[in-house]
Amino acid sequence: MITRDIAAFTAFAGSLAADFGPATARAAFLVSPDGFMRAEQSAQDNRYMADARAFDTGAALREHHALHRALAQDVPVICFPGDETTPDAVFPNNVFATARVDGEARLIVGRMRHEVRQREAGRRDIRGFFRDTLGYAEVDLSGQPHPCELTGALVIDRARGIGFCGLSERCDEAGAARMHEAFGLRATLMFDLAPGEYHTNVLLAVLAGRAVLVHAGGLQTPGLVPALKAVYPGGVVNLNGLEQAAFAGNAIALASGKVWMSRRAHDALRPATVEALAASGFAVHSVALTAIEAGGGSLRCCVAEVF
């Protein structure tokens, strides 16, 4: 099912066992921030992006290397080179994602809103690696007209096979339906983001199917937080505005007991937030990403998961 009906979604999702698939990825890939700079098209609807003077490619490359080393503690991590013509490519999870649907491994290629990001979808090396080397089937959404910026717009609970899709200029209802089908999900809830928000994954994170980080202020859907509490009883961690502004919602779990976020996000966490995560079995780990965050995204945006 794919719906805007929160009550219907909650009733269905709450009945599901966490038996759809692995809760965390078996590997991940990154794209190096070569030529990292402000992309003016992306800045049109990304209020988190800094002024051009804040961009430092050398610092971003050093941070990215440290991120690669850190995440490799949990899963195998590979890194593709960046390209000066695609300055946002350091955030590949909007463009590329993977899934396993009825035993078929899939590479899903998203349809980006801005032309500067649409170029990323044409990368033959990433497509070829998954198609020809790993044998993944390719589901190419990049040529259809509806924006669907993959796991930027769609936050997925892989254990239950459900998704939470925030609608904005970066993803419309038709795009959400295409992603729902491509990922083979059991259920997807669509909802509106608050004005000025562009991606769900800076507001909401599902961690290994057990806990949820959420900032209600970025959602134009008051019933969503109660729905999350019904599906994840005792596992919903509310972020305040300062935590969310520091990118604490842009977090990821690549192992069952660790949540990764940027150092800035980690430093912004209230003791109550750290305690709530610990109660769900998560220790917080972080990497400094100050230079990369000038691009309007943070740690989760840098990580494309491999299932």
Task: Render each residue's pLDDT in the chain as its tens digit; 307 residues.
Answer: 999 999 999 999 999 999 999 999 999 999 999 988 666 776 567 777 657 677 899 999 999 999 999 999 999 999 999 988 888 899 999 999 999 999 999 999 999 998 888 899 999 999 999 999 999 999 999 999 999 999 999 999 999 999 999 999 999 999 999 999 999 999 999 999 999 998 999 999 999 999 999 999 999 998 999 999 999 999 999 999 999 999 999 999 999 999 999 999 999 999 999 999 999 999 999 999 999 998 899 999 999 999 9
Distance CA 155, CA 151 (A): 6
What is the rounded (10 degree) CA torsion for 267, 269, 275, 281? -80
Q: Which pTM was predicted?
A: 0.95
Question: Which of 3, 83, 106, 1 has its CA nearest to residue 35?
Answer: 83
The answer to whether 175 touches 198, Cβ cutoff 8 Å, is no
State whether residue 108 is helix, strand or coil: strand
Distance CA 81, CA 41 (A): 22
Structure tokens at 138: 């390719």
What is the pLDDT, as a whole number, of residue 42?
A: 64
Question: Which of 185, 191, 181, 190 has its CA nearest to residue 162?
Answer: 185
What is the pLDDT, as a whole number, of residue 36?
A: 85
What is the pLDDT, as a whole number, of residue 84?
A: 87
Q: Where are the beta strands (DSSP E) in 210-303?
A: 211-214, 236-238, 252-255, 258-262, 283-287
Amino acid present at 223: G
Question: Which of 216, 243, 217 has its CA nearest to residue 227?
Answer: 216
Task: Quote the crossing angle between the two packed helices 224-231 and 6-13, to the nearest 10°.
Answer: 10
What is the pLDDT, as a whole number, of residue 159?
A: 98
Residues 6+ apart with CB under 8 A from 205: 155, 212, 213, 214, 249, 250, 251, 252, 259, 300
Given the structure tokens 């035993």, which residue do they identify?
Answer: 103
What is the pLDDT, as a whole number, of residue 37?
A: 66
What is the pLDDT, as a whole number, of residue 116?
A: 80
